[in-house]
Amino acid sequence: MKSDVEELMPRLLPVEFGAAAEDLDPNGPPRNPREYLRQVQLEASLCPEVVVAQIDPKKLKKKQTINASVAGCHAAPEGFSPSLSWQQRQVGNFSDVRQSITKNRNHWSSHTLDDNVLMPTLTDEEGWKRFCLGETVYLGSSSSNTDEEAEPALDYTKVGFPPFLTIVSRLNQGRWLYALLACLEKPLLPEAHSSIRQLARRCAQLRSTLESNRDEKLPALNLLICLVARYFEQNDLVDQPE
């Protein structure tokens, strides 16, 4: 006669032991597969069918602290949020840029860099700040030329290197904001996923401090939030159109 457990959960691997089961040592190591399966069955038969957890109700009456992290962006002030059509248009343009970069990545990455382009290592944070922003901004030096003679050529070490495709195509995941979001490969690595979310939240925070919706920084902030939220599908960060 089958037990209640066997009625509900029939054996998927039935094993007949016969008289050999009498020689089984339940405390010793199994000598063959049959003995192993028999030990498993014996251990299962010793387990109670119903287990009741012992809970101290006094502990449940105490106030419990719950730490919640709000991962979304600052809501856009009234009149600062872009329209849905604008967001969709930016995502479409961005998608076209990404397709073009993907198509031409190998071509540009094979080009030789100019002698003045000395790329920092990926872990050199200070070097990248100087490389992207230029010494004029990063070091806080004056951008005006004190000499009467004009500089013979543009010095990128002073004003910062633009995100040329010959540069960004050499980077696995990129550095500059729009240009390097365009080079960011899907599916996102965990650290890249975290970084772009931080970028969108930071942009939203800066946007909330703007005094006017005519501020020249607003379109760029809206654009970066839009791309992170809509193109990279971080839906909880999406700007809701007014």
Per-residue pLDDT tens over the stretch 55-107: 777 766 665 565 545 556 788 888 898 999 999 999 999 999 888 877 877 77
pLDDT over 70 at 12, yes or no: no
Res 149: pLDDT: 46
Report the SS3 class of residue 3. Answer: coil
pLDDT of amino acid 186: 83
Q: Residue 32 pLDDT more than 90?
A: no
pLDDT tens track for 115-126: 777 777 867 888
Taking the C-alpha atoms of residue 77 and residue 240, their distance in angstroms, rounded to an integer, is 11
With beta carbons less than 8 A apart as the criterion, state whether 207 and 196 touch. no
% of the chain with per-residue pLDDT over 70: 69
Least confident of 21-35, 123-137, 203-217: 21-35
Provide the pLDDT for residue 138. 63
Give the whole-number percent of the chain exceeding pLDDT 90.
Answer: 21
241 phi, psi to nearest 5 deg: -65, 150
Long-range contact list for 121-125, CB < 8 A, 24+ apart? 122/171, 122/172
Identify the sign of the CA torsion 175, 222, 207, 162: positive
Residue 141's pLDDT is what? 55
Token pair of 60, please? 């449940």
Which of 81, 83, 92 is closest to 218 using CA atoms?
81
| pTM for this predicted structure | 0.49
Concatenating the DSSP letter of every residue in 157-194 gives: HHH-----HHHHTTSSS-SSHHHHHHHPPSSPPHHHHH
Query: How far is it, in rounded angstroms, from Cα 218 to Cα 214?
Result: 7
Q: Which residues contact 139 (CB under 8 A, 6 or more apart)?
A: 130
Q: Nearest-CA neighbor of 45 among 8, 4, 1, 16?
A: 4
Q: What is the model's pLDDT at position 146?
A: 45
CA distance linking residue 135 with residue 156, whole number of Å: 9
Token pair belonging to 129: 């700040």
DSSP state of 32: S
* Higher per-residue pLDDT: 189 or 46: 189
Are the C-beta atoms of 188 and 216 separated by less than 8 Å? no
> What's the rounded mean pLDDT across residues 226-242?
89
- Decide if pLDDT at 41 tops 50: yes
pLDDT at 148 over 50: no
